[in-house]
Structure formats: structure tokens, C-alpha cells
Structure 1
């Protein structure tokens, strides 16, 4: 059994967001471009740096990203959306405006969402009748050994 932590879950969600950003755009079937290719002469390219592209994600990265997206189904819709916005690097202020939360409440819900995923990945079910703080604290420390 893997020992998942909140940091590992957060890293995997950020990796998934990066993978989906690198994927090619989805175009409708039958899409084509009628414009001819423009051939740049040497004089056009003098002093210009070539545009570097990131390599396409590997099949393993795509599989891991798909797996991470399935984790979001374990959460309430708003919590999943909040986690996905943070994984995409959206700043806290627009997130707080979007959800109508204070910064501390948004951070707490973000930690709670990560904690629920950690509980599920480690083979446990988060208790329903406990506070968010309890779930977050136990996700950070792990189960008690008796």
C-alpha cells in the first residue's frame, strides 16, 4: 500500500494540470486550414529567437493525469473545482471571489479536499461525522497505531 501524503496528492494534481495544458487542442472533425504555408526568408528570421516547445507528455504522464482526475470524483463539486483551480495555479484572490469565501475558509476547504483524497488513496474512508480539522490532521499524521 502506498503512503500518500497531501504534498504528493497536490504534486500529482499539478502534474495533471500541466499535462492537460500541453495536450494539443481538440478540433472538430474535418477541420483543415486553407491558407498556404508562409515560407520565411533568412532576412525575416535575423535576430529572432526560435520558439521552443515543451515536449509532449509521455503516455505514463497522461495515465497519471487521468488517474488524478478520477480522484476529484470523491469530492463535492465545489471542492473539486477549487482543487483543480489551485492545481492550475490560479491565485487565491480570484478563487475567493468566485466561491464567496474568505482566504482562510478557501484554504481550509482546499486542505480538506486534499485530505479526503489522501484518506481514500490510503485505503480508508474519511469519517462523516467529524470536523474538517480532524480529517486534515489525520491525513497529515496518518492513522494511529495501537
Structure 2
């Protein structure tokens, strides 16, 4: 994609969060159970944990886009990363504002600034920090 705007970057972060949610859980390899399956009565089934139903696993192209998007996170500061990721996971603005100790509008402005920083980096408009003397 040649031209990026804030909406495209936000959509890419949301897609990366969804792709990460759809990945299979990481499990330790090599352990298995040799006990045979047995029938449980009704009382025992109430105490069992609910099975976790997941969506279909993501496609390899979606995983590649997610990995590319994760590299974009390196351009942001730590607090900006948390803010962008919370919004990508569709947290409410009030919850985000509580997490960062500010009002909703300030959290939204900081989110916009972080997305603009990523957009500028994608366009190659790298800003040189003021504290570097060259």
C-alpha cells in the first residue's frame, strides 16, 4: 500500500489484534494422557470447565500482516504501544482513560498522535528528535 492514512493504520492494528486472538494457544509439546476416556455422571459434568471454542485459525497472509504490524510497534513508545493495542482490542475509551489516568478526549488525542507517528514512519517522514546533535 503506497498511501497510508490514520484509518488504514487503525484498521491494520485491529486486524492484527483479531489475528492474534485467533491463533491457537501455545502448549507444551511432549506430554500426553494414557488414561482411557470414561463417562462422567451429570454432577461431575457441572464442575468441568467449559471447552474453549475458537474461530478458524488465521490464514498465513493474515499472520504475515500481523507480524509486519508488530514491527510498526517498535516506532512507538511503551505507553503509546499499550494505548494503540488496547484500542485495537476494542477496549472502551473510558477504560483506556482510566488506565492512563486522563479523560477520554485526551486518550483519543494521544491515540491519534500515535497513529499519526506510525503513518509518518510509513511514508518515510522520519522526524529527528530535538535532543540529538548532528
TM-score category (smaller protein)? 0.7 to 0.9
TM-score where L is the length of structure 2: 0.78
Which residue number corresponds to residue 44 of structure 2?
none
Deviations 1:2-34 (A, max 9, x none): 110101101110000000000000112334345
Call closer, same or farther: CA 1:6–1:55 in 2, change over 3 Å: same
Which residue number corresponds to residue 115 of structure 2?
114
> What is the CA–CA distance in structure 2 between the aligned matches of 1:75 and 1:5, rounded to whole Å?
17
Gaps of 5+ in 1: 40-51, 130-146
Which residue number corresponds to residue 11 of structure 2?
11
Total equivalences in the alignment: 118
Which residue number corresponds to residue 43 of structure 1?
none
What's the RMSD between the two structures over aligned residues?
2.3
Which residue number corresponds to residue 73 of structure 1?
74
TM-score where L is the length of structure 1: 0.72
> What is the CA–CA distance in structure 1 between the aligned matches of 2:2 and 2:80, rounded to whole Å?
24
Mapping 1:1-146, distance limit 5 Å: 2-33=2-33, 36=36, 54-126=55-127, 128=129
Call closer, same or farther: CA 1:128–1:108 in 2, change over 3 Å: farther
